[in-house]
Amino acid sequence: MAEQVLKDLAKFQMNGSGWTFHSIVALDIHTVGYEPLSGSSWVPLPKFLASKKAIINMKNTDNHCFKWCIVRALNPVEKKPDRITKHLRKQAVSLNFKGIEFPMSLQAIDKFERLNTEISVNVFGYDNISKVYPLRISKFKRHKEIDLMLLENKHYCLVKNLSRLMSMQTSKHHGEIVICRRCLNHFPNEKALEKHEENCQNHDAIKIVLPEEGSILEFKNHKHSMRMPIVVYADFESFTKPIDSCQPDPDRSFTKAYQQHEPSGFCFHIKCLDKSSEQILFTKTREEENVADIFVDILEKEIDRVWSSEVKEMIFPKMAGQSLKKQESAGFARNHLKW
Ligand SMILES: [Zn+2]
């Protein structure tokens, strides 16, 4: 610390300010304790989680809850799986925890995965609002994939059935589902999940926070909005004609085009600032009529008519009186204000 101060002083005096250091009158040092997320002492499962019967809460009296969860995941038992027995301690010997400190931090799981190359570990968090959300999703999908939950930022529990645990926040779907650990979306089967994961693995794990029920999203800054001088509302009517196409491959995703929309008529309406034009209606009467072409023709003519009668007088009279010639300003508007 003193060294750094002296260094900075020397640098300051060398800058040629002409000032000379005399003495330090007082020095305040403020410190904040840094507590990284890590798992250690036992905490009871929140009632809601306990009711799902999808989590094993190892009854540890030390800081090694992470270790006991992993060992239990690899050595499941039917009766009292949360007990740390002599047998479980023996089974722990097969794992490599060299250089890992307990309580185990989330960051240290990278090291654990490097030392134990058959295991990948995912960790989830839980709160009353977001429910279950991903905290750390492994980069690997290994033969032994273990899901843990970190409670109160200090205690790891073993998730033995993620599908059942997630059933509380995955709609009213009944029956077995598979979960994408990264985004916690659910899928009906492994095949659907695999397809989704091709995209999802390119993104970081996410915690989805939905707005409260009944909340409304609204636009308030109307002063930031810009009014369009001309708006066209158009609607087409069409016949549908069936299309003959070859049979798609059912093993791949496909879009089957089965009908073509053949326009038979249209209706449009032009709104110019506060004035509305009359509705223009057209219905095809002869087979050779191309409705789309007719629509464009009539629309162009109508826009020209509205433009010359309404917009030119309403928007540009001031500009016309300035250095720009009237015709130039109208040309500018034509090029820049598109409908
Ligand atoms: Zn996903």
- pLDDT given for residue 169 in this prediction: 66
147 and 235 part of one domain: no
Same domain, 68 and 153: yes
Q: Does 215 fall in a domain? A: no
> Are 290 and 267 spatial neighbours (Cβ–Cβ below 8 Å)?
no
* Cα–Cα separations (whole angstroms), residue 16 to 8, 11, 19, 129, 207: 14, 9, 8, 58, 53
CATH number of the domain that residue 111 is part of: 3.90.70
Centroid of ligand 1 to alpha carbon of 212 (angstroms): 23
Split into its structural domains, the chain has a count of: 2
Ligand 1 midpoint to CA 198 (Å): 9
Q: What is the pLDDT of residue 146?
A: 95
DSSP string, 125-185: EEETTTEEEEEE--S---SEEEEEEEETTTEEEEES-HHHHHGGGSTT--S--EE-TTT--
In a domain, 249, yes or no: no
Decide if 294 is inside a domain: yes
Q: Considering 131, 154, 172, which residue would you say is the last residue of a domain?
A: 172
Would you state the pLDDT for residue 152? 87
Residues 146 and 235 in one domain: no
0.85 exceeded by pTM: no
Nearest to 160 by CA among 52, 54, 45: 54
**DSSP structural state of residue 236:** E
CA-wise closest residue to 238 among 269, 260, 268? 260
Whether omega before 103 lies within 30 degrees of 0, making that bond cis, reads yes
> Does residue 140 share a domain with residue 238?
no
If you measure from the C-alpha of residue 79 to the centroid of ligand 1, how many angstroms do you get, rounded to a whole number?
Answer: 34
Helical (H) or strand (E) element with 314: helix 312-315
Question: From the CA of 197, how far away is ligand 1's center (Å)?
Answer: 6
Regarding whether 71 and 154 lie in a shared domain, the answer is yes
Measured in Å, residue 1 CA sits from the centre of ligand 1 at: 48
Residue 10 within any structural domain of the chain? no
Residue 139 covered by a domain: yes
The answer to whether position 86 is within a domain reads: yes
- Taking the centre of ligand 1 as the mean of its atom positions, its distance from the CA of residue 196, in whole angstroms, is 6
Q: Ligand 1 centre and the CA of 243: distance in Å?
A: 36
Q: Are residues 236 and 319 in the same domain?
A: yes
How many angstroms separate the alpha carbon of residue 183 from the centre of ligand 1? Answer: 4
Same domain, 78 and 148: yes
Q: What distance in angstroms lies between residue 164's CA and the mean position of ligand 1's atoms? A: 17
**Does residue 157 sit in the same domain as residue 228?**
no
Q: Using the 3D structure, point to which of 172, 192, 210 is the last residue of a domain.
A: 172
Whether residue 212 is contained in a domain is answered as: no
Domain containing 233 equals 224-242+256-336
Q: Tell how far the Cα of 206 is from the centroid of ligand 1, in angstroms.
A: 9
Structural contact between residues 330 and 316, judged by C-beta atoms closer than 8 angstroms: yes
My answer on whether 238 and 125 are in the same domain is no
Residues 49 and 115 in one domain: yes
Instruction: Let me know whether 43 and 168 are in one domain.
Output: yes
The neighbourhood of ligand 1, an ion, using CB within 5 A, equals 180, 182-183, 200
Does residue 60 share a domain with residue 135? yes
Q: What is the chain's pLDDT, residue by residue, as a tens digit (339 residues)? A: 778 887 887 777 777 667 777 888 888 888 887 666 655 578 888 888 888 889 999 998 888 999 999 999 999 999 999 999 999 999 999 999 999 998 899 999 999 999 999 999 999 999 877 688 899 999 888 989 999 999 988 899 999 998 888 876 665 555 678 888 888 888 888 888 888 888 888 777 777 777 888 888 888 888 888 888 888 999 998 888 877 766 666 666 666 677 788 889 999 999 887 777 788 899 988 888 899 999 999 999 988 888 787 666 555 545 444 444 444 444 545 554 444
Measured in Å, residue 194 CA sits from the centre of ligand 1 at: 10
Residue 90 domain-assigned (yes or no): yes
What pLDDT score was predicted for residue 321? 45
Q: How far is the CA of 133 from the centre of ligand 1 (A)?
A: 12
Cα 168 to ligand 1 centroid, rounded to whole Å: 18
182 Cα to the center of ligand 1, angstroms: 5
